[in-house]
Amino acid sequence: MSIPGTVSFNIHRVDNSSLEKQSDTIAIEEPLEIVIKHYIDGAWIEEPLMVTMRTPGDDLSLIKGLLFSEGIISSIDEIDDISKFGSNTSQHNVDNSLMVTLNQKNQVSLSNLKRHFTVNSSCGVCGKGTLNAIEIAFEPQITINKPCINFDLIPTLPKLLNNAQAQFAQTGGVHASALFNTNGDLLHLAEDVGRHNALDKLIGYCRANSILKPIEQFVVCSGRISFDIIQKILMSRIGMVIGIGAPSSLAIDLAKKFDITLVGFIKKHKYNIYNGEWRITSIS
């Protein structure tokens, strides 16, 4: 069965020194150009926001999540329309240029975001200055004691996540972010070649469909937890994020600054709590 966001390639596989020609399923990676149309100073203007490499599929959730995470919108109602523009269609027959039209009530200035979007997200951004900028730009409202989950639930999460990853099962080449409730029920999962895109798709879908209830839920990410992941969690007022891999130092700094529970390095019955151990209890 063909999984959306994947394509087949002919490859040669080596097994015990035997060379065999086979077909392999690969995750698609395509550029997505995002342009913002907004009303400012009495006129409609169109400004390029960014180009991101992503796995096509659920692009609308990706864009919505990105706009929430970057503080461009605070409500889904601020988006009037998302539509394709131009003729930038890929070989996989997907639209690679989308325009977001914001309503007139949104008076966002994109000039403050331009530098951010020209920096590769894997570089760690800019340390202390970035932490201070977030504190000034955004007043966090994270509930200090919730969500609260059981110690024993955490080691089961990698398997629960893996079992729900249809694209990863086919390709082995995508990341996932998932929303769980405190009972360990999977509420929604998103996949993408980019860790940040997977989280944006998750947040965009859950906020657009009124699923997100931060005091009752937490997020699990398949890879390492970087500063940008925690920033997106913070902007959605989520109090707990669990990574299968390790966090970066700046991710821990940001989690501590805003009282976010950060868990990582899950290995069988072992894992590390880097901050916010008060939300994890041994009481069922």
Token pair 């200035």 in the structure block, residue: 109
Euclidean distance between CA atoms 116 and 251, whole angstroms: 17
Number of CB atoms found within 10 A of residue 204's CB:
24
Taking Cα atoms as reference points, which of 157, 158, 156, 177 lies closest to residue 61? 177
DSSP for the chain, written as a single string: -PPTTEEEEEEEEEETTEEEEEEEEEE--EEEEEEEEEEETTEEEEEEEEEEEE-SS-HHHHHHHHHHHTTS-SSGGGEEEEEE-TT-B-TTS-B-EEEEEEPTT----GGGGHHHHHS-GGG-TTTHHHHHHHHHH------SS-S-EEGGGGGGHHHHHHHT-HHHHHHS--EEEEEEETT--EEEEEEESSHHHHHHHHHHHHHHTT---GGGEEEEESS-B-HHHHHHHHHTT--EEEESSPBPHHHHHHHHHTT-EEEEEEETTEEEEEE-GGGEES--
Query: Could you confirm whether 206 is annotated as catalytic?
Result: no
Which amino acid does the sequence have at 132?
Answer: N
Candidates 123, 126, 148, 221; catalytic one? 123
Q: Which residues are catalytic?
A: 123
